[in-house]
Structure 1
Amino acid sequence: MHTHRGTVIGTLALTTALALALTACSDSDESGKKTGSTAAGDGTHTVRTAMGDVKVKNNPKRVVVLDTAELDSAVTLGVRPVGATRAGAEQAVLSYLPKSSTKDITEVGEIAAPNLEKIAGLKPDLILSSKVRDGQRYQQLSAIAPTVLTETTGYPWKQNFLVHADALGRTAQAEKAISAYEDHAEAVTKALGGKAKAAATDVNVVRFVEGADIRIYGKKNYIGTILADVGVGRPAITDKAKDGFSYDVSPEQIDKADADVIFTSTYGSPGKAKVTQTTTSGLWKNLKAVEDGKVFQVDDELWLQGIGYTAANQILAELQSDLTR
């Protein structure tokens, strides 16, 4: 399996380019109106959320994020949260994010189980999360600070990003980030030889999960949208994914993951996720991607947990690097 030691320079260059693009943002949108990011700090604006309209400060300074997508959104938009839930089993913040953007963030518990006292202690002026994670805690969170929830996470990440940007008063910066991503995805398609050639390469994403079946990712999830934006082909098995999310298999059914290219990641302990058991089997070794040396091991946090434009640009860089080998 290939790993990604060589993509750091490209990723850094890309992050720098994105940062410059964001810095160059004007404070007005195309209609010439001033955006929330430059409005008076003591003013408020209304944000449409999954729980109804919420009044938020025009320029919130103390933001608490309760999931990984919200963390990626904040960092993408140049906001360093004061608090965040723990992303993985070990660290508080996603390792692919620039350290300068995540230092001094206070951990406020686990995703879907935040510590309300810790959150209150940070005196936030905005809390970002989703109904699927924190809907049942909405009243308690709202008593601490204006709380903006999207309906869910993952697949609708692009729409959710716009909600996060609105809440943070950074819609102009959001437009720049979206435009930079779209240009980048187009450049990757071009690097693969154009739309027809990209579509002729079938790509699967296989995730080994501790204590669960192996997931062959479908099309209705975060990584599925990025692969669709590049325009690569997806094997027929992806259309059988439950709710479009994933088609789950045991190690004895891993032949169903066959594709021209396979990206693999592991969540939790590799042993408990049956990585070795699966990848040393005859079924695995007979997969086309394995025989052709087209299996690439990727970072689970980046590809499947991050969910946002900062992650997406790094994923695009890795996709181009691997698919043009």
Structure 2
Amino acid sequence: MSPRHMLFVAAVLAGAMSSAAQAREITHALGVTDVPDHPQRIVVLTNEGTEALLAVGITPVGAAKSWLGNPWYDHIADQMTDVTNVGEESAVNLEALVALQPDLILGTKQRHEAIYEQLSAIAPTVISERLRGDWKINMALYTDAAGKGAEGQAALDAFDARIAALSSALGDNLKEKISIARFMGGQTRIYFKDSFSGLILDELGFTRPASQDKPEFAEQITKERIPEFEGDRLFYFTYETGNGEGNSQAEDWLADPLWQNLEVVKAGKVHEVSDAVWNTAGGIIAGNLLLDDIESVYGLASTR
């Protein structure tokens, strides 16, 4: 028997031996799972799930690496110093995960349906339905599974209260139509309402330009469609992994005559913001930082 196989079998046996201590049923996207009342060693396989746990005072023993950062986003790095990187959301290192001896694994159907049986053989596994605009639904699921459902709901309630307060403070500014662009290596996307930033802007009460007022996620576009970025105010973010390709894409498009001819550009109402905060992280910590950005852009007092 290979060392890898032995490690996996040991994990399965450990999971079976601990089943008697598992007391709560959690219904999720791929079934019903018995989980410990107070899990102590949680591995989380989504970036948004990591933020959900941190927000209720839980430091996971392992987590999927951040899409940006080495290996964590700058805005959570100081809380993740003792956390083991178990690979990317879409490429989980099962051996690293097994070695952590988790008593709960949190993932998402969108990324982990194909490895759900393997994950469940290692430890009780709870799976959300999808990512993108569902971060609040997912946070409630993740924190409930982790035994911190009340704390998770309190954090979500505080976020909703902040949305309401900021929406009130924005007043007539909410009449502005907000445009969102993202630059990546070799491609540019226009973002719609079923995205992390799109959902939060909608909750605040902002409207979107007609070209972006769609209940969808995003679409890759060519330069000929730059006029679709027209709006009263435009936010853009760049996914840069360190090879320079994202920044090169942004520089090329920002210098294009069609971009320079946008009325929102001429009016000086274009703002560069963090890709991690506005799009990639997708959790409650990033959501609060996004609201900080809105307050700063509109010169408003903090609602934290």
**Normalised by the size of structure 2, how large is the TM-score?**
0.87
State the superposition RMSD in angstroms: 1.8
Ranges in structure 2 where 5+ consecutive residues have no aligned partner: 1-20
Within the alignment, does 1:143 sit opposite 2:117 as a pair? no
Q: Which of the pair is proportionally richer in helix?
A: 2
Find the counterpart in structure 1 of residue 205 from structure 2.
231
Report the secondary structure of 2:252's partner residue. Answer: helix
Contact persistence 2:52–2:152 (CA under 8 A): no
One of 122, 127, 138 as aligned partner of 2:100: 122
Within the alignment, does 1:264 sit opposite 2:242 as a pair? no
* Distance in 2 between residues matched to 1:321 and 1:298, nearest whole Å: 11
Find the counterpart in structure 2 of residue 27 from structure 1.
none
Task: Give the CA deviation at 1:211.
Answer: 2.9
Within the alignment, does 1:277 sit opposite 2:252 as a pair? yes
Task: Give the CA deviation at 1:280.
Answer: 0.8
Change (3 A) 1:116 1:43: closer
Change (3 A) 1:89 1:157: closer
* Distance in 2 between residues matched to 1:71 and 1:219, nearest whole Å: 23
Find the counterpart in structure 1 of residue 291 from structure 2.
316
Task: Give the CA deviation at 1:77.
Answer: 1.4
Report the secondary structure of 2:180's partner residue. Answer: strand
One of 60, 68, 75 as aligned partner of 1:81: 60
One of 70, 81, 85 as aligned partner of 1:103: 81
Task: Give the CA deviation at 1:143.
Answer: 0.7
One of 202, 207, 224 as aligned partner of 1:252: 224
Task: Give the CA deviation at 1:98.
Answer: 5.8
Find the counterpart in structure 1 of residue 142 from structure 2.
164
Report the secondary structure of 2:86's partner residue. Answer: strand
* Distance in 2 between residues matched to 1:89 and 1:299, nearest whole Å: 11
* Distance in 2 between residues matched to 1:176 and 1:143, nearest whole Å: 32
Q: Following TM superposition, where does structure 1 have runs of at least 4 consecutive aligned residues deviating by more than 3 angstroms?
A: 269-273
Within the alignment, does 1:209 sit opposite 2:184 as a pair? yes
One of 58, 65, 70 as aligned partner of 1:91: 70
Contact persistence 2:132–2:217 (CA under 8 A): no
Change (3 A) 1:208 1:169: same
Contact persistence 2:179–2:209 (CA under 8 A): yes
- 1:213-254 residue CA offsets vs partner (Å, 9 max, x unmatched): x11110112211100111112110113x5x611132123321
Aligned-partner residue type, residue 107 of structure 1? N
Task: Give the CA deviation at 1:88.
Answer: 2.2
Contact persistence 1:131–1:152 (CA under 8 A): yes
Contact persistence 1:251–1:274 (CA under 8 A): no
Ranges in structure 1 where 5+ consecutive residues have no aligned partner: 1-41
Task: Give the CA deviation at 1:200.
Answer: 1.1
* Distance in 2 between residues matched to 1:310 and 1:276, nearest whole Å: 29
Find the counterpart in structure 2 of residue 71 from structure 1.
50
Contact persistence 2:186–2:245 (CA under 8 A): no
Contact persistence 2:237–2:272 (CA under 8 A): yes
Within the alignment, does 1:199 sit opposite 2:174 as a pair? yes
Within the alignment, does 1:188 sit opposite 2:149 as a pair? no
Report the secondary structure of 1:155's partner residue. Answer: helix
* Distance in 1 between residues matched to 2:244 and 2:169, nearest whole Å: 33
State the aligned residue count: 278
Find the counterpart in structure 1 of residue 16 from structure 2.
none
Q: Report percent identity of matched pairs.
A: 33
Contact persistence 1:251–1:277 (CA under 8 A): no
Task: Give the CA deviation at 1:89.
Answer: 5.3
Contact persistence 1:84–1:92 (CA under 8 A): no
